[in-house]
């Protein structure tokens, strides 16, 4: 796959200089520096910089700060700086994302890059819009007000806190790893990130604006107008605002966690059927395997994981916890809707997915959220009703809250106190770095 797609890009350079289809590369070794993929990506980057057609796709590692660090410089970005940025062909090259180590296998889940190709210029415009309160009524609220990088791209309040201090009725989910989901919201009512991004702007209890006013306000800011007109043939429109924001969100991905570094080592041990590797013997008998073992061990040792978290992982993926019946894949979500009974004891429960599908079995069902970086995104559940991971684990241990639509996979687990602590430790070990993101540098 790696070789084939690189060959493909190289052919495109020579034969089809205006080829601009983006391609998702799935590389087993994409996360390791100096891998063959990385070298090829660097080569392609150089070719572009030295004058190849601006539409030659460039491979970029998602998570690298140069995508989200803002237009170089300090303070509010000036129009001269914006023009210089827009004049650089490199910023308009369609980008082929390479996912960080740990997420690589999710490449097949990425959608919409064909209709909304990633470019540096579009990601940067989306970054500005994401942090800009001027998209809201009276310039009070931005996307970051409820999906704050300092609060794990979520918000530490039970419900979203919007215009005039109004509270919504659902907890703010995280705005990272959205690249792996087609449908958005707890009930999946938006078909894409592009569709989702338009929602809050016009939602009276969120940003409380109208799309028309938003488009006018943004279009009246010369720095924005310059960017929209260069990036989109039809300039400032609400759809283009959404496309830019969606592009910014797609590059917000979690870096590898201690669990990601540990997993290959665990699997290696399983392959050679040894809990404890006899290093001297392995070295003598299988020097190549021994080298591989040393590499995996070094990677895991530099991102240490506790014994408790390792045991918790076995519970999470094993029969005992069966958490991975729903929290599955690189982003720990089956992208489906389940009823755990959360909020079902209230007088008028939020019926979740049912409101969209009108399917009886969806009553009280919500989309399985990611559990990556979960330790920093509390409170939890669609109604923010659970404050800590300990509470969440207790909820599962007692088998959720009984109601006619309780998912069949939710059953009392009968975990010991140690096992519960292990599960929590595992969830905490799913933490990876998020890209460094500039919050300022907005056009004036
Ligand atoms: C007032 C708080 C608030 C503001 C402002 C806000 N959001 Fe949200 N966001 C929420 C809440 C609450 C939800 C969940 C709503 C639901 O599922 O019904 C949500 C859902 C989302 C989701 C879906 C995540 C998922 O896992 O499905 C994304 C993506 C998102 N918001 C991005 C944005 C963007 C982009 C903006 C700015 C244009 C924005 N939000 C503004 C509170 C807010
Ligand atoms: C039947 C599918 C299913 C199983 C099994 C499952 N989960 Fe969940 N999980 C969900 C859904 C759906 C939600 C959101 C429910 C809601 O808000 O109503 C969720 C929410 C969570 C949350 C809160 C996430 C957030 O951002 O608010 C955590 C943490 C979590 N689950 C961990 C676990 C653990 C640990 C296990 C195993 C003991 C487990 N899950 C088993 C589907 C499942």
Q: Is 331 in the pocket of ligand 1 (CB under 6 A)?
A: no
Q: How do strand 366-367 and strand 95-98 relate by DSSP bridges?
A: unpaired
pTM, two decimal places: 0.89
Question: What pLDDT, on a 0 to 100 scale, did the predictor assign at position 51?
Answer: 37
At residue 5, does pLDDT exceed 90? no
Architecture of domain 125-250: Orthogonal Bundle (1.10)
Closest residue to atom 1 of ligand 1, CA basis: 162
Per-residue model confidence as pLDDT tens digits over 212-261? 999 999 999 999 999 999 999 999 999 999 999 999 999 999 999 999 99
Q: Give 55's pLDDT tier (boundaries 50, 70, 90).
A: low
Q: Is 351 in the pocket of ligand 1 (CB under 6 A)?
A: no
**What are 111's two structure tokens?**
């959608």
Per-residue model confidence as pLDDT tens digits over 347-397? 999 999 999 999 999 999 999 999 999 999 999 999 999 999 999 999 999
At residue 40, does pLDDT exceed 70? no
Let me know: does 158 contact 135? Beta carbons within 8 Å: no
Let me know: does 226 contact 98? Beta carbons within 8 Å: no
Closest residue to atom 24 of ligand 1, CA basis: 185
At residue 429, does pLDDT exceed 50? yes
CATH ID of 306-428, from 3.40.50.720, 1.10.760.10, 3.30.1240.10, 3.30.420.40: 1.10.760.10
419: helix, coil or strand?
A: helix
Q: Is 371 in the pocket of ligand 2 (CB under 6 A)?
A: yes
Helices in 102-192 by DSSP H: which ranges? Answer: 120-131, 143-146
Per-residue model confidence as pLDDT tens digits over 158-188? 998 888 888 888 999 999 999 999 999 999 9
Q: What is the mean pLDDT of the chain?
A: 88
Distance (Å) from CA 213 to ligand 1 centroid: 20
Q: Mention every residue, 6+ apart, whose C-beta is less than 8 A from residue 11.
A: none
At residue 7, does pLDDT exceed 60? no
At residue 114, does pLDDT exceed 50? yes
Residue 96 dihedral angles phi and psi, to the nearest 5°: -100, 110
Question: What pLDDT, on a 0 to 100 scale, did the predictor assign at position 38?
Answer: 38
Per-residue model confidence as pLDDT tens digits over 12-32? 322 222 223 333 333 333 333
Question: What pLDDT, on a 0 to 100 scale, did the predictor assign at position 137?
Answer: 94
Within the chain, all domains assigned CATH 1.10.760.10 are found at 125-250, 306-428
At residue 41, does pLDDT exceed 90? no
Percent residues over pLDDT 70 in the chain: 88
Question: What pLDDT, on a 0 to 100 scale, did the predictor assign at position 44?
Answer: 34
**Mutational test site, ligand 1, from 135, 137, 146, 254, max ligand atoms within 8 Å of CB:** 146
Question: What pLDDT, on a 0 to 100 scale, did the predictor assign at position 6?
Answer: 31
Q: Whole-angstrom distance between the N-terminal and C-terminal Cα of the chain?
A: 45
Question: What pLDDT, on a 0 to 100 scale, did the predictor assign at position 162?
Answer: 86
At residue 340, does pLDDT exceed 50? yes
């Amino acid at each position: 796959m790696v070789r084939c797609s690189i060959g493909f890009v190289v052919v495109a350079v020579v034969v089809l200089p205006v080829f601009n289809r983006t391609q998702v590369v799935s590389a087993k070794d994409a996360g390791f520096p100096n891998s063959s993929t990385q070298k090829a990506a660097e080569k392609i980057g150089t070719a572009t910089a030295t004058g190849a057609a601006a539409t030659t796709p460039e491979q970029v590692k998602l998570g690298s700060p140069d995508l989200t660090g803002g237009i170089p410089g300090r303070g509010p970005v000036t129009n001269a700086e914006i023009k210089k940025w827009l004049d650089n062909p490199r910023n308009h090259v369609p980008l082929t994302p390479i996912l960080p180590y740990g997420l690589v296998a999710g490449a097949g889940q990425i959608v919409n890059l064909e209709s909304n190709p990633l470019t540096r210029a579009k990601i940067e415009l989306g970054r500005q819009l994401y942090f800009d309160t001027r998209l809201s009524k009276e310039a009070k609220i931005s996307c970051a007000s409820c999906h704050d990088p300092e609060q794990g791209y979520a918000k530490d309040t039970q419900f979203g806190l919007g215009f005039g201090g109004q509270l919504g009725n659902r907890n703010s989910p995280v705005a990272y790893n959205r690249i792996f989901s087609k449908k958005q919201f707890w009930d999946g009512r938006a078909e894409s990130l592009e569709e989702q991004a338009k929602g809050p702007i016009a939602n009276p209890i969120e940003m409380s604006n109208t799309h028309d006013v938003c488009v006018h306000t943004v279009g009246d800011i010369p720095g924005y107008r310059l960017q929209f007109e260069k990036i989109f043939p039809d300039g400032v429109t609400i759809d283009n605002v959404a496309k830019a924001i969606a592009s910014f969100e797609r590059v917000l991905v979690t870096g590898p966690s201690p669990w990601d570094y540990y997993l290959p080592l665990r699997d290696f041990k399983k392959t050679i059927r040894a809990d404890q590797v006899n290093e001297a013997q392995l070295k003598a008998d299988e020097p190549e395997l021994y080298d591989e073992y040393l590499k995996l061990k070094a990677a895991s040792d530099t991102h240490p994981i506790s014994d408790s978290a390792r045991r918790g992982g076995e519970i999470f993926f094993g029969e005992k916890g069966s958490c991975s019946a729903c929290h599955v894949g690189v982003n720990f979500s089956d992208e489906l809707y389940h009823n755990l009974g959360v909020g079902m004891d209230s007088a008028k429960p939020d019926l979740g997915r049912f409101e969209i599908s009108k399917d009886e079995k969806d009553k009280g069902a919500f989309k399985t959220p990611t559990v990556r970086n979960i330790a920093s995104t509390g409170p939890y559940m669609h109604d923010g009703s659970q404050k800590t991971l300990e509470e969440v684990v207790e909820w599962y241990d007692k088998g959720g809250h009984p109601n006619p639509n309780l998912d069949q996979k939710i059953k009392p687990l009968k975990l010991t106190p140690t096992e519960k602590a292990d599960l929590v430790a595992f969830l905490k070990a799913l933490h990876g770095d998020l890209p460094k993101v500039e919050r300022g540098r907005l056009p004036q």
